[in-house]
Amino acid sequence: MSSSMRRDLAAGAAAGLIGGLAFAWAMQAQGLRAAAGLAGLSSTGTGVALEILAAILIGAGYGAIFRYQPFAYAATISSGVLYGLLWWIAGPLTLAPLLLGRGPGWSLQEADAALPSLVGHVLYGALTGLSFYALVSLYRRARPGAEVVAEPPAAPTRRVVILGGGFGGVSTAQRLEQLFARDPHLEIALVSQSNYLLFTPMLAEVASSGLEAQHISAPVRAACPHTRFVRAEVEGVDTATQVVRVRASPSVPVETLPYDHLALALGSVPNFYGLPGLEEHTFTLKTLDDATRLRNHAIALLERADVERSADERRRMLTFVVAGGGFAGTEMIAELLDLVHGVLRYYPNIQAHEPRFVLVHSGERILPEISAPLADYALRKLRTRGIEFMLNTRVAGASVDAVLVGDGGRIETHTLVWTAGNQPHPLLRTLPCERNRAGAVVADTTLRVVGLDNVWAAGDCAQIPDVNNEGRPCPPTAQHALRQGQVVAGNVAAVLRGQPLWEFRYRTIGTLVALGHRTAVAELRGWKFSGLLAWFMWRTVYLSKLPGLEKKVRVALDWTIDLFFPRDIVLTSHAATPTLAQTIGARSEVASAGATGPGAPAAADVRLEGGA
Ligand SMILES: Cc1cc2nc3c(=O)[nH]c(=O)nc-3n(C[C@H](O)[C@H](O)[C@H](O)COP(=O)(O)OP(=O)(O)OC[C@H]3O[C@@H](n4cnc5c(N)ncnc54)[C@H](O)[C@@H]3O)c2cc1C
């Protein structure tokens, strides 16, 4: 047993005695011994000795379970309160009636009779927690350094490094934490450029001012408390020497992290297919930054349009184009419409018919992720609300004030949101392993990267065969990434323990797509839902999946507020959005190049290489 455990057991026992004595005295004084479950123990010497013994044992149990946490006296007291509550259930409600031959007292009458002692138990717990914290703090002050000498941290003998703090990376770390339960011989390190796990299904709502940005993201440090988190950019992986090169910021030197097992979960990045102007003039929707930038841009455009005299410029400002008719693009165009129409009351010079919303999609129908009848329903609903759809149409390029579409079409706009293409993280191309045409690492059914023995992969950066679907690649969704991360962790543990590996097997539960305006479509295990019911399901399902109780409460509050109040139009950034900042200069630039002027050949010389 470690010295800190011995310390916590002893301090817990002493604290339990203090709390127990105070409790017995209070119950006696109030004439509540029976209600507290102490009646069976008479006030004879043996009875008192038994009470003292019970108080010591219960206190030691407290110390062993909750352990001492420095600077956490409030948390220690609240865990004491919880402990007291549990003992109220275990003592007067369960053990005392059992000892008295009445069976467990889980009836309303028994609970009613024991209720007066609830306060006593809660106070007992709080006092035990407080005494425990005070005793350990005194001990540490009296013997500084005693524990450091007695218990040097064990050097880890195995290191698992996880790259990426999204669904795949965080679930790998969480499962490893469970499987190795603070084993000092295993170090788990997670490297990510963002210090939070982003709940992407709600990203469009952040961009439309429906949700606060921080509410849909959970800090990785809180989600994986026993993992060493490194906020840094991964610069490279050397699989021969088994080290990862990371850099926390451009001004600091590169740090190397050695690994025994490496988990790749770097996700994907937007793919612009080399189309002209896209990288410079589009809004992407992958990060919190993307969503807040788009939100500020849309609101800044409304501010500008409200005072703009030129009809052409107003039209450009009030035209919002989304490229890509998958779930991200469809949800985004619906949310943009909800945002703009929801706040028009603040912009008296903008008429309701002026804002225009266009979705450009290369396929015949939107939402290829769900069945045709539901996609048709979504299309009809969104068309009724005024969204224009350009199907079988590809984006060919973009400039600061236009989107070029198809074979020469042009939409005058300052807003193009790009959800039409993603590619696996480019860093993967440097790895000496098998990759598919898109650049994703190829993994086998156990999620081991083909060609590298101790490298594993999860999520959007990998091509993983779906054994339930004739080995076709798993779709790039959060529900897959999350479960793949768990299997990666299980298989790393299996290799370290010499056990057989698991296969990744997962059947998609379903797809839910929010269409704004309290409408959605949902397909769950073949069952189809649409309208208000599907919207309710969307919210319930995603709220339950959102990590952390605190975030759930915050999002539920945001949604409740959204029912009664218009969306917030506070601009959280004073900087003009890049598109707007460049508007005037770039417009004349592009016009002089002959691409945007009235009657110009528009997209004629723009080559189509892919896209929406
Ligand atoms: C708008 C939107 C809506 C979506 N809606 C849904 C939905 O409703 N349902 C669903 O199942 N899926 C949805 N998805 C898809 C889902 O988000 C992805 O499939 C999932 O996030 C993939 O998880 P991942 O761990 O592979 O990658 P990600 O979650 O993208 O995580 C990648 C991580 O790697 C980090 N990273 C990247 N590069 C580096 C680097 N060089 N150095 C350090 N760290 C790096 C990133 O910061 C990030 O933490 C949506 C996606 C988007 C964009």
The pLDDT tens digits of the residues spanning 136-180 come to 888 888 887 665 544 545 677 899 999 999 999 999 999 999 999
Residue 104, pLDDT above cutoff 50: yes
Those residues with Cβ within 8 angstroms of residue 560's Cβ, 6 or more apart along the chain or in another chain: none
- The answer to whether 491 and 503 have CB atoms below 8 angstroms apart is no
- Ligand 1 centre to CA of 261 (Å) is 22
- Section 377-392 average pLDDT: 97
Residue 329 Cβ contacting ligand 1 at under 6 Å = no
Q: Confidence class of residue 79 from pLDDT cuts 50, 70 and 90?
A: confident
81 against 13, higher pLDDT: 13
Mutate to test the pocket of ligand 1, among 196, 216, 245, 266 (most ligand atoms within 8 A of CB): 266
600 against 547, higher pLDDT: 547
Q: Is 137 exposed, middle or buried (0-12, 13-18, 19+ CB in 10 A)?
A: middle
> Phi first, then psi: what are they for 242, rounded to 5°?
60, 55
- Ligand 1 centre to CA of 200 (Å) is 7
Residue 316 Cβ contacting ligand 1 at under 6 Å = no
Residue 577 Cβ contacting ligand 1 at under 6 Å = no
- Ligand 1 centre to CA of 285 (Å) is 10
Residue 326 Cβ contacting ligand 1 at under 6 Å = no
> Radius of gyration (Cα) for the chain, nearest Å?
30
Helix 327-343, helix 372-384: angle, nearest 10: 20
Tokens of 89: 């259930």
456 against 68, higher pLDDT: 456
- Ligand 1 centre to CA of 318 (Å) is 30
Residue 170 Cβ contacting ligand 1 at under 6 Å = no
- The answer to whether 294 and 283 have CB atoms below 8 angstroms apart is yes
pLDDT at 71: 65
- Ligand 1 centre to CA of 541 (Å) is 19
pLDDT, tens only, 230-277: 999 999 999 999 999 999 998 999 999 999 999 999 999 999 999 999
CA dist., res. 392 & res. 454, Å (int): 44
Residue 266 Cβ contacting ligand 1 at under 6 Å = yes
pLDDT at 181: 80
Residue 328 Cβ contacting ligand 1 at under 6 Å = yes
- Ligand 1 centre to CA of 479 (Å) is 11
- Section 503-507 average pLDDT: 93
Q: Confidence class of residue 349 from pLDDT cuts 50, 70 and 90?
A: very high
Cα-based angle 162, 168, 169 (whole degrees, multiple of 5): 25
- Section 29-37 average pLDDT: 63
Helices (H), 465-548: 478-497, 532-545
Q: Which residue has the tokens 């407080």?
A: 130
Residue 355: CB atoms within 10 A of its CB come to 24
Q: Is 572 exposed, middle or buried (0-12, 13-18, 19+ CB in 10 A)?
A: exposed
| Ligand 1 atom with least separation from CA of 220 | 49
470 against 102, higher pLDDT: 470
**3-state SS, residue 139:** helix
- The answer to whether 262 and 245 have CB atoms below 8 angstroms apart is no
Nearest CA to 267 among 248, 289, 252, 287? Answer: 287
Residue 233 Cβ contacting ligand 1 at under 6 Å = yes
> Phi first, then psi: what are they for 483, rounded to 5°?
-75, -35
| Ligand 1 atom with least separation from CA of 267 | 27
| Ligand 1 atom with least separation from CA of 197 | 49
pLDDT, tens only, 539-592: 999 999 998 888 998 999 999 998 888 999 999 886 545 454 444 444 434 333
Residue 484 Cβ contacting ligand 1 at under 6 Å = no
Residue 94, pLDDT above cutoff 80: no
178 against 50, higher pLDDT: 178
